[in-house]
Amino acid sequence: MPSSPCVQLRDVDVAFGARAALRDVSLDLHAGAVTVVAGPNGAGKSTLLEVVAGTRVPSRGSRTATGSVAVVPQRAGVSDLLPITVRDVVAVGTWGRLGAWRRADAAARAAVDEALQRLEVADLARRPYGALSGGQRQRALLAQGLAARADLVLLDEPTTGLDAASGERIRAVMADEAARGAAVVCVSHDPAVLAGADRIVALADGAIASDTRAPAVVAPAPRTTAR
């Protein structure tokens, strides 16, 4: 791994009452890589993502992190009745960098425009968010995460229920985010997302069951021909 970790978890436990959701998890996450967190239902994937994000405090152990964080949720907590456009939803991604009044500057507007285009939702920008299909909403939420231009990009099941083309777009965007230097961490069961991962952390019953890095691509040795 080329860089120092941007998130370090050490000996992390999370308990909900008597139920252990994470047990003794230690993990370093690095810039420039797509890490997929896999495992069966209830294994602790979403809880791990929350601890990585810094939104859930471990019951034991520590989290240290550098840089900014963008979380791409599975769904937005926005009422379909509110007159919020797709552009408004994507612009929320820039709020962390704007001041208390969140007055969009040229850089924020450019980040929103670019994110809308990369997720191919620019033509929907003026539509009410509540009028979008499920797949269009997922792309808009990922655009919100991109607009943040964060050091750490966290995604929970971003391709669930999407058609093949939308899933491919989202996988490509995750790879691009890693290529620009972000640490991308994605909870997913999707075989195509797993196939594109640089690293797969599998959880079972709250503990890390395996931690596998994709093999480096090794150029085949040149063929030697007998003379």
Q: Which is nearer to ligand ATP, 45 or 149 (CB)?
A: 45
Min dist. Cβ of residue 4 to ligand ATP (A): 27
Min dist. Cβ of residue 113 to ligand ATP (A): 33
Q: Which is nearer to ligand ATP, 25 or 43 (CB)?
A: 43
Q: Which is nearer to ligand ATP, 73 or 128 (CB)?
A: 73
Give the end-to-end CA distance of the chain in Å, rounded to a whole number: 41
Q: Which is nearer to ligand ATP, 45 or 118 (CB)?
A: 45
Min dist. Cβ of residue 158 to ligand ATP (A): 13
Segments in the chain forming alpha helices (H): 45-53, 86-91, 106-118, 134-147, 164-179, 191-195
* Distances in whole angstroms, Cα of residue 195 to Cα of each of 15, 132, 153, 210: 31, 29, 19, 16
Q: Which is nearer to ligand ATP, 29 or 31 (CB)?
A: 29
Cα–Cα distance measured from residue 226 to residue 4, given in angstroms and rounded to the nearest whole number: 46
* Distances in whole angstroms, Cα of residue 48 to Cα of each of 59, 72, 73, 130: 12, 14, 14, 29
Min dist. Cβ of residue 7 to ligand ATP (A): 17
Min dist. Cβ of residue 46 to ligand ATP (A): 3
Q: Which of 42, 67, 38, 50 is nearest to 9 (CA)?
A: 50
Q: Which is nearer to ligand ATP, 47 or 159 (CB)?
A: 47
Unique residue bearing structure tokens 């998130």: 7
Cα–Cα distance measured from residue 4 to residue 29, given in angstroms and rounded to the nearest whole number: 9
Min dist. Cβ of residue 208 to ligand ATP (A): 13
The residues that touch ligand ATP, with contacts defined as CB under 6 A, are: 16, 19, 21, 39, 41-47
Min dist. Cβ of residue 161 to ligand ATP (A): 14
Q: Which two tokens stand for residue 78?
A: 């926005």
* Exposure class string for 153-192: b at 16+ Cβ within 10 A, else e: bbbbbbbbebeeebbebbbebbeebbeeebbbbbbbebee
Q: Which is nearer to ligand ATP, 90 or 201 (CB)?
A: 201
